[in-house]
Amino acid sequence: MDLLAPKTLEDQVVLLLAHGERGTTELLHKLQAKRPGTTKQGFYVALRKLKAEGVVVVYKKTAALNTTWIQKMRDALRDMGRAYTTQEDSSDILSLADKESVSYKFSTTKQLDNFWGHAQNIIVHATHANEPVYTYDPHYWFYVARRDVESSLIEEINSLGKQFLMTVGGATPLDKALLPEFNTQMRQYHIEKLYDKPNYYMTVIGDYITETYLDEKVAARINALYERGEGLNERAVQELQQELSVRVKTKMKITRNRAKARKLKTKLDKNFYIKQAE
């Protein structure tokens, strides 16, 4: 079952039931609208399969997700999350001593972004609950190209009581289009160019500093797209998504350096409201 990228009829049924029970007739019509060609017979075969697996319950012509299955999924995901975000001996990152670093290379920007989120989650879970996540991007284009992924990462950060504080180097209409989505105490967004390199991205969490260098040609194309002066539109989203799969060399360096991290946080936090430790 793949609920992030649903491929089967069963996946689609589960997704449609994710926000509450539905009548089976309504559910069939919703599926036919999403997947033209879905037959009534095929729908009921999928529904019977999900019932047999304990994923769905059906009563009085109404289908709902089985709460027992939901609990099992929640517990499994929680255990997996703990395994990958709290075991220090399983991560090169958390084993770093002060002033040590580790570097990674990637063949596509999407691979970089996937690992970036993974590494960030490890550090977020390993640092104190009052430590904000400070980020500097020339343009926060990953949020435009992969809104669902980035939103999930930010929600995870906020769920741990940590603020997400984004500084963006660009002041174009597309940069400014994200301002309304980061206007709370827990999610803040500031526009100020701090570094001249258009391919340099940085995150500071606790004592950890993540420095990421995009391929210079990719960075130049992204900057040119932003400088066109357009706001947030479908063309911009599609063009940025294309940059994720281009085969290029990108690299990331993660350093644990208490003194340097403190200086960077002092530089970055003057533009934000930092909540008091509880």
pLDDT of 39-83, one tens digit each? Answer: 999 999 999 998 888 888 887 788 988 877 887 777 666 655 554
Alpha carbon distance 248, 99 (integer Å): 29
Alpha carbon distance 107, 103 (integer Å): 14
Alpha carbon distance 202, 254 (integer Å): 10
Please list the ranges in the chain whose pLDDT falls under 70. 1-6, 75-91, 277-278
Alpha helix segments (H runs only) across the chain: 9-16, 24-34, 40-52, 67-85, 109-126, 141-145, 147-159, 173-176, 216-227, 234-243, 258-269
Check: pTM over 0.85? Answer yes or no. no
* Cβ burial 96-131 (10 Å sphere, 16+ → b, else e): beeeeeeebebebbbbbbeebbebbbbbbbbbeeeb
Tokens linked to 193: 């160019």
DSSP 276: P
Query: pLDDT (tens digit, 9 = 90+) per residue, 181-207?
Result: 999 999 999 999 999 999 999 999 999
DSSP 246: S
β-strand pairing of 133-137 with 164-168:
parallel
Tokens linked to 243: 């940059």
DSSP 92: T
- Would you say 172 and 229 are in contact if contact means Cβ atoms under 8 Å apart? yes
Alpha carbon distance 63, 68 (integer Å): 15
For every residue of 12-43, DSSP letters joined together read HHHHHTTTS-EEHHHHHHHHHHHSTT--HHHH
Q: What pLDDT does 89 receive?
A: 38
